[in-house]
Chains A and B, each alone.
Chain A
Amino acid sequence: MRVNHYLEDKLLLFEITEELDHHEVERIRKRADYEIQRVMPKKVIFDFKKVSFMDSAGIGLIVGRYKFANLYGANTELINVNEKVRKIFEMSGVLKIIPIIDNYGSERIG
């Protein structure tokens, strides 16, 4: 996972590069929570561009980080989510509270 912090926007962007299963999620969670606590962002974005695999462990990871970021008043969004991953999120109903943003600002992330 690559972490990008945009100070001016109080934005924390996590670019996930791992396959999102239970094994990897355990490690990503610790790193993400550490950064959220340190930065206290207003917004958290998870970039799924490099995620080639996700199972239900990914749902737990994202919902957990949404809750944690929420303690600091931050909202959470997802970008570059492929069809397969989108379907898994849809089944769980979490997209109602954690939206997927299509066509996210290409001027910043390209």
Chain B
Amino acid sequence: MNRDIKNEMKIEFSSKSANEAFARISVAAFASQLDPTIEEIADIKTSVSEAVTNSIIHAYPNRDGIVKLSAKLLDDEIEIEVSDTGEGIENIEEAREPLFTTKGNLERSGMGFTIMENFMDKLKVESIVGIGTKVTMIKKIKKNKSLENTY
């Protein structure tokens, strides 16, 4: 596999819910350099929205904090990292299960990690209680789509 990084970006923003749209639109615009399909872009936007929302709601429940978002473009994939220095996750395996939520009272569905897992090709979750959480996601972007579409 070719691990040459072709381009890279990093942003940091406050844990305000208004930034959820800003975050997913930024990554979508950056990813467009790999010439993804509308479907691939939709998958990326949804997954970024899930990860960023988690940092905003779960990592910093009662205070403002900083959410870091970075993306790397490789030959045929995009690697996205969302991290916070908030509460952390006690049991990652349990947290990743469909419908598991610690915020049922806030009408959370517990489907965030399940959606990321389904829409991306790889999902890694690292977390330490009291230190923070880092979510790394990889989406393969099929190449040479233009050739396929040329008859």
Q: Residues of A with Cβ closer than 8 Å to B?
A: 19, 21-23, 25-26, 29, 53-57, 59-61, 63-64, 84, 88, 91-93
Contact between B118 and A91, CB atoms less than 8 A apart: yes
In this assembly, does B87 line the interface, its C-beta being within 8 Å of a C-beta of chain A? no
- Within the complex, what minimum Cβ distance (angstroms) separates B115 from chain A? 6
| Listed stretches B45-53, B78-86, B122-130, B140-148; interface member | B45-53
Contacts of A57 in B (CB 8 A): 53, 109
Chain B, residues 104-127, CB within 8 Å of chain A (1/0): the string is: 001111111011001000000000
CB-contacts of B20-70 with A (<8 A)? 20-21, 24, 42, 45-46, 49-50, 53, 56-57
Q: With A and B bound together, what is the CA distance between A29 and B49 in angstroms? A: 19
- Within the complex, what minimum Cβ distance (angstroms) separates B67 from chain A? 13
Contact between A19 and B53, CB atoms less than 8 A apart: no
Partner among B20, B111, B118 whose Cβ is within 8 Å of the Cβ of A22: B20
Nearest to B111 among chain A residues (CB) is A56
Contacts of B49 in A (CB 8 A): 21, 53, 55
Q: Is the interface of B mostly helix, strand, loop or mixed?
A: helix
Q: Give the 7 A-B residue pairs with the shortest CB-CB distance, closest first.
A: A23-B17, A60-B107, A59-B109, A56-B111, A64-B107, A55-B49, A60-B109
Contact between B99 and A22, CB atoms less than 8 A apart: no
Residue in A23, A55, A61, A92 whose Cβ sees the most chain B Cβ within 10 Å: A55
Q: Residues of B with Cβ closer than 8 Å to A?
A: 17-18, 20-21, 24, 42, 45-46, 49-50, 53, 56-57, 98-99, 106-112, 114-115, 118
Q: With A and B bound together, what is the CA distance between A22 and B50 in angstroms? A: 9
Q: With A and B bound together, what is the CA distance between A23 and B109 in angstroms? A: 15
Nearest to B101 among chain A residues (CB) is A60
